[in-house]
Structure 1
């Protein structure tokens, strides 16, 4: 199985934090999100794994340069979801390609996704789920996709959300321009117009979140840390052993502190993510905050 992780986005909605590191390198529970994606793709049998990079691409390069199964595709300009895929075609053989957005956190079984794609036999499979905030994909009763976007007529179908996980046959990628920006959804709309089926696969019973905004990023930590078992009224804390926490520090609700971070005396933190190496000054009062280096 071949795979690609899309990691070249600008992360504009996550500014100013995304000016320091690209979205796929944001730590989730003190580990870069991209490393989790690599683990999941490998567990599903993915190799080679292409990772594209543009914004702060040198940081992604440093992370993956010792990964023998990863091919880094550095893009000098933003190519979009379609353009990045088309450029990566040279690294792939004739097998279907698993594609995962680098800014999502999920527990979807990627082996199941690949098996269902092969069973259906179509050129494209988009993994969908019911997520009202993003339900913009119209599907028919047989789960073929009719359209993308909210502004469509009600034809008795169902609206679902794209998870950011898809499987694409290489011949579909060849329909994209060989160079420059391209939108993969526009390509799929062309397939639908040509009556070539674009199939949806509905995932259920999983956990999924994206980190598109600071609130989303903090909310993900709240959900994940909230799953831990604690006594009544006790905060959910994840503090790396190399972090230094001074005396009289008060932490409430949940707090995540990365390696080598320093929390000054008398600081109060509520729903805070402190990145590795970051410093919280003595006496600081932080609520719903991301502390960076």
Structure 2
């Protein structure tokens, strides 16, 4: 029996505004919750028992796996950190190595398989995509970990995604200190027990830890732009794997459409009049693409969507279930379920669930200086190398915009907020706020006399 543990009990505050209504592990990755991808991949690798450490305030995880005898969801209330969570949910009377996977990361199946069969502790690591100051990182040599440092000043090269741990070593994680012990001088450390501190205990005891570097696409999904990046990458990948057209029961393609690529159409879905597709598309069930829609490149569509009337959708985009993209709307990015885009708007970035954007709403994505917007996460400035991710707009769940609202490059709009008509949003808007435009009006008399009559 192979047992796996998914650590998904964190609060996910850095990925605001998408942490208001769900834990990070339920974020949609090409229209499937991240944790569902993880469970499916662990099963493909041979895991027969999967334990998910979940936050108590989000019962959606338990509902997602209701009836799956291979999955056990354990709520962890008031956890002191990943080490504490691991100790609480670690299977009792287990005598075999256990896989441990962070619940907010994407790892390819082939890389997960490389942890299988290890008889000693091992860590699946991936090169830093951002500054080492953003991670509890490590160095490695000859396939073994040589150092672990917390948010160091450019002293580490990789960070952690998954582990193979042995039951006899659980005490090292139970004894993890309340603050991470290995940091550069002057660094402030939060009061939290980290799994990596348990690894440090193993290393201090002379127990080697095997280092396995990822070969496929891997990403720690920690911030809003990571969510956009992983969806874009996997949409392109999923569509590129299509080799032939796949039309499920009741699916159809109108002869007037022009398709330059391969199409997968779910049950009851259709491509209608004068649609142009330049790439491969993956379409869910009961989705209608009609009336001159222009799909430029590889795009993934969910179930029960309505796409058409001259809309334009850019390559790498993902459209969630029950979305509408109509009447000249342009999209480049990710839509959560039940988002409405219509009436001549341009959306570039991520739009949260149940969001209705008013006519003419525009997300700016290009600055006059051609630079990337400096992002702020919990008040800390972060510079992104990818200007497309830096300048994308990130709109939360249950938002609304008025007619001709403008979001300048890189801004974030908190969940359950409203941007009034004509407002230009320069800075991030907190959740549960309404921002309205204040204007001065001048009223004058006017009549034909003004024209000389």
Shift of 1:82: 0.8
2:368 — aligned with what? Answer: none
**CA separation of 1:77 and 1:239: change in aligned 2, threshold 3 A:** same
Is 1:8–1:57's contact at 8 Å kept on the other side of the alignment?
no
1:166 — aligned with what? Answer: 163
Shift of 1:285: 2.4
Is 1:126–1:162's contact at 8 Å kept on the other side of the alignment?
no
- Choose between structure 1 and 2 for higher RCO, CA contacts under 8 A separated by at least 6 residues: 1
1:29 — aligned with what? Answer: 30
**CA separation of 1:67 and 1:90: change in aligned 2, threshold 3 A:** same
Which structure dedicates a bigger proportion of its chain to helix? 1
Unaligned runs of 5+ in 2: 179-191, 241-260, 262-277, 280-294, 355-453
> Which stretch shows the higher mean deviation, 187-196 or 64-73?
187-196
Q: Does 1:38 align with 2:39?
A: yes
2:114 maps to which of 103, 112, 131: 112
Count of paired positions: 282
RMSD of the alignment, in Å? 2.7
| Cα deviation code 1:235-257 (max 9, x no counterpart) | 32211241122422222233211
Q: Distance in 2 between matches of 1:283 and 1:152?
A: 46
**CA separation of 1:220 and 1:151: change in aligned 2, threshold 3 A:** closer
**Partner SS state of residue 19, structure 1:** coil
Q: Does 1:212 align with 2:222?
A: yes
Q: Name the larger-Rg structure.
A: 2
Shift of 1:91: 4.4
Shift of 1:26: 0.8
Q: Distance in 2 between matches of 1:273 and 1:144?
A: 37
**CA separation of 1:146 and 1:152: change in aligned 2, threshold 3 A:** farther
**CA separation of 1:255 and 1:36: change in aligned 2, threshold 3 A:** same
**CA separation of 1:245 and 1:64: change in aligned 2, threshold 3 A:** same
**Partner SS state of residue 116, structure 2:** helix
| Cα deviation code 1:135-175 (max 9, x no counterpart) | 63122335243333464898xxxx54234110100121233
> Which stretch shows the higher mean deviation, 142-151 or 188-197?
142-151
Q: Distance in 1 between matches of 2:306 and 2:153?
A: 54
2:350 maps to which of 269, 282, 289: 289
**CA separation of 1:112 and 1:283: change in aligned 2, threshold 3 A:** same
**CA separation of 1:280 and 1:113: change in aligned 2, threshold 3 A:** same
